[in-house]
């Protein structure tokens, strides 16, 4: 009886919910049912919860016209499938493609709504500042890391002196890394420093072997080469574990157990929906998402966490990696693990413009970590898309457009001085500063930055790489 009444009031309630809110209600209720069953709750209590779940699922179907699928928030159904179902003017963003028709780049506010994540707003930035007692990184202040999931939970943990750890990664697709690849690592390094927490870095050489036309030996080699560039960002060897999947998977029972647990809880249908796999994709691709999910659980690293299972994980990554972690977060409660929290960054624009992410195979699309000062200068002068006017007269009269100017965008990533950046923006917008002059500032910013990176990378010996990549206890007690 009581559950009948509950269902009535529930139904009016539900009418006012958005598809996404409904989706969340169904997911929560599903978790509740599972918890009741796992806790061997009384049968009528379980039955009532199941009825509620069915009624929620029905409302979801009525509202969205689609069946509820775990891990697939309503908007994703349109978005993913490799973008085939996206609306005309929508940006395409998935782990393999980034495409927009807008010169300003992807509309990130819309992406937050579509992905169902939360905006990193001033309140959150202020809270981070209070927690760490210092000025937040300019990537946070300038909206380069713009979206998150459950960052408040991480801060709760931190403020209550509970541990958490960082997890990030890279697919070693080639030897050549460009400055854009450094963004998540520079930010992760800062997080590691201010929060003083362990960090694990996954190099998905297996993923690149599966997706690219590449031998397994090459993928393995690139992982080590890329590790040098990552180490050159300045990570603390006592607090950082870097691993290649091809190596670590075979040596860690903890890691493999988590992979299998994730595999058991995700259907082929779900990964098809989330990643757009088709029947003709190899089974390696289909099961790979479980391998990217597993490092989100501390039990994948018993040597670091002393076998502890429930340490909260925080993942800084570019927003295109979110599908992997939506899946992970959906599975987590079902395998008795905490959901990883996330911090998402925008994409780093190609020199040619913000419509697409850069490609490591086009040497002119970005500044590479191996570029000489001269190459940097030529590339910027020749290829950096300008928001300036066609003639000097027009530029002086109407001013330049920082929103589409790639040199200005790069400066927001790499010029740390807030006042200087603001001055440049004013001067460029008013027409006082010409494109060539703005490019000169960028050249002078990037040349020393890249040279310093090359210098640090030279110091990274094979022995140091080996140490970072050896499974071991880190400088933390658990
Ligand atoms: N799939 C990512 C890439 O192709 C690599 C990766 C693995 C990753 N685990 C991660 C990236 C965690 C960010 C966070 O680059």
Q: Is the CB of 192 under 6 A from ligand 1?
A: no
Q: Is the CB of 317 under 6 A from ligand 1?
A: yes
* Residue among 264, 277, 298, 173 nearest 226 (CA): 173
Q: Is the CB of 202 under 6 A from ligand 1?
A: yes
- CA separation (Å) from 297 to 30, 336, 339? 21, 10, 8
Asked if residues 191 and 236 have their Cβ atoms less than 8 Å apart, the reply is no
Q: Is the CB of 435 under 6 A from ligand 1?
A: no
pLDDT at 12 over 60: no
pLDDT attached to residue 65: 67
pLDDT at 67 over 90: no
pLDDT band (50, 70, 90) for residue 75: low
pLDDT at 360 over 90: no
The fraction of the chain above a pLDDT of 70, given in percent, is 92
Question: Which tokens hold the place of 246?
Answer: 């091809």
Q: Is the CB of 173 under 6 A from ligand 1?
A: no
Residue whose CA lies nearest to ligand 1 atom number 5? 170
pLDDT attached to residue 407: 97
Of 106 and 247, the structure prediction assigns the larger pLDDT to: 247
Q: Own/partner pairs for 54-60, CB < 8 Å, 24+ apart?
A: 55/7, 55/10, 55/11, 56/10, 56/14, 56/22, 56/25, 56/26, 56/29, 57/26, 59/11, 59/14, 59/17, 59/22, 60/19, 60/22, 60/23, 60/26
Largest CA distance in the chain: 80
Q: Is the CB of 204 under 6 A from ligand 1?
A: yes
| Rounded mean pLDDT, 12-26 | 73
Q: Please count the residues of the chain.
A: 478
pLDDT band (50, 70, 90) for residue 135: very high
Q: Is the CB of 323 under 6 A from ligand 1?
A: no
Span from the CA of 292 to the centroid of ligand 1 (angstroms): 7
Q: Distance between CA atoms of 219 and 302, rounded to whole angstroms?
A: 26
pLDDT attached to residue 85: 38
Q: Is the CB of 168 under 6 A from ligand 1?
A: yes
pLDDT at 117 over 60: yes
Span from the CA of 202 to the centroid of ligand 1 (angstroms): 7
Span from the CA of 246 to the centroid of ligand 1 (angstroms): 15
Q: Is the CB of 340 under 6 A from ligand 1?
A: no
Span from the CA of 252 to the centroid of ligand 1 (angstroms): 19
Q: Is the CB of 188 under 6 A from ligand 1?
A: no
pLDDT band (50, 70, 90) for residue 431: very high
Q: Distance between CA atoms of 471 and 40, rounded to whole angstroms?
A: 39
Q: Distance between CA atoms of 300 and 125, rounded to whole angstroms?
A: 30
- Write out the H or E segment, with its range, that includes residue 349: strand 349-350
pLDDT band (50, 70, 90) for residue 229: very high
pLDDT attached to residue 196: 97
| Rounded mean pLDDT, 365-382 | 96
Asked if residues 198 and 304 have their Cβ atoms less than 8 Å apart, the reply is yes
Residue whose CA lies nearest to ligand 1 atom number 1? 171
Residue whose CA lies nearest to ligand 1 atom number 14? 168
Span from the CA of 293 to the centroid of ligand 1 (angstroms): 10
Span from the CA of 321 to the centroid of ligand 1 (angstroms): 7
Q: Is the CB of 73 under 6 A from ligand 1?
A: no
Q: pLDDT of 322-352, one tens digit each?
A: 999 999 999 999 999 999 999 999 999 999 9
| Rounded mean pLDDT, 155-169 | 97
Q: Is the CB of 386 under 6 A from ligand 1?
A: no
pLDDT band (50, 70, 90) for residue 3: very low
pLDDT attached to residue 459: 98
Query: What is the CA 35 to chain-centroid distance, rounded?
Result: 29
| Rounded mean pLDDT, 177-198 | 97
| Rounded mean pLDDT, 187-197 | 98
Of 26-30, 176-180, 269-273, the one with minimum mean pLDDT is 26-30
- Write out the H or E segment, with its range, that includes residue 5: helix 2-15
pLDDT at 380 over 60: yes
Residue whose CA lies nearest to ligand 1 atom number 9? 169
3-state secondary structure 145-165: EEEEECHHHHHHHHHCCCCEE
Span from the CA of 227 to the centroid of ligand 1 (angstroms): 13
Q: Which atom of ligand 1 is nearest to the CA of 324?
A: 1
| Rounded mean pLDDT, 416-439 | 97
The fraction of the chain above a pLDDT of 90, given in percent, is 73
pLDDT attached to residue 54: 86
3-class state of residue 329 by DSSP: helix
Residue whose CA lies nearest to ligand 1 atom number 11? 169
Q: Is the CB of 407 under 6 A from ligand 1?
A: no
pLDDT at 99 over 90: no
Please identify which residue in the block is written with the tokens 């390696």. Answer: 284
pLDDT at 1 over 50: no
């Amino acid at each position: 009886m009581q559950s009948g009444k509950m269902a009535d009031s529930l139904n009016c309630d539900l009418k006012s919910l958005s598809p996404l809110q409904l989706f969340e209600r169904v997911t929560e209720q599903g978790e509740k049912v599972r918890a009741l069953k796992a806790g061997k709750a009384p049968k009528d209590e379980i039955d009532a919860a199941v009825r509620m779940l069915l009624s929620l699922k029905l409302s979801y179907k009525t509202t969205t016209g689609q069946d509820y699928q775990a891990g697939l928030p309503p908007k994703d159904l349109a978005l993913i499938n490799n973008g085939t179902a996206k609306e005309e003017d929508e940006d395409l963003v998935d782990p393999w493609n980034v495409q927009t028709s807008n010169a300003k780049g992807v509309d990130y506010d819309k992406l937050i709504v579509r992905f169902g994540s939360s905006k990193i707003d001033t309140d959150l930035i202020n809270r981070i500042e209070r927690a760490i007692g210092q000025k937040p990184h300019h990537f946070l202040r300038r909206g380069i890391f713009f979206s998150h999931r459950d960052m408040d939970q991480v801060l709760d943990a931190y403020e209550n002196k509970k541990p958490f750890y960082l997890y990030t990664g890279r697919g070693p697709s080639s030897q050549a890394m460009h400055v854009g690849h450094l963004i998540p690592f520079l930010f992760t390094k800062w997080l590691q420093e201010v929060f003083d927490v362990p960090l694990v870095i996954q190099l998905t050489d297996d993923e690149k072997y599966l997706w690219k036309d590449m031998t397994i030996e090459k993928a393995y080699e690139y992982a080590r080469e890329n590790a040098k560039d990552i180490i050159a960002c300045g990570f603390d060897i006592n607090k950082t574990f870097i691993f290649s999947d091809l190596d670590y998977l075979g040596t860690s029972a903890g890691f493999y157990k988590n992979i299998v647990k994730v595999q058991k809880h995700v259907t082929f249908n779900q990964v098809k929906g989330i990643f757009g796999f088709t029947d003709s994709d190899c089974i390696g691709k289909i099961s790979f998402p479980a391998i990217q999910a597993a490092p989100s659980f501390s039990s994948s690293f018993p040597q670091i966490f002393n076998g502890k299972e429930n340490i909260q994980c925080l993942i800084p990554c570019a927003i295109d990696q979110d599908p992997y972690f939506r899946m992970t977060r959906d599975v987590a409660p079902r395998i008795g693990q905490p959901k990883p929290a996330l911090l998402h960054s925008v994409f780093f624009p190609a020199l040619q413009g913000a419509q697409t992410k850069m490609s490591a195979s086009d040497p002119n699309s970005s500044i590479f970590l191996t570029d000489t000062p001269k190459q940097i200068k030529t590339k910027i002068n020749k290829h950096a898309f300008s928001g300036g006017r066609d003639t000097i007269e027009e530029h002086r009269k109407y001013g330049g457009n920082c929103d589409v100017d790639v040199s200005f965008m790069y400066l927001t990533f790499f010029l740390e001085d807030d006042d200087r950046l603001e001055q440049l923006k004013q001067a460029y917008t008013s027409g006082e500063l010409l494109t060539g002059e703005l490019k000169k500032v960028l050249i002078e910013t990037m040349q020393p930055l890249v040279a310093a990176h090359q210098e640090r990378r030279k110091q990274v010996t094979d022995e140091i790489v080996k140490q970072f990549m050896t499974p071991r206890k880190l400088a933390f007690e658990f």
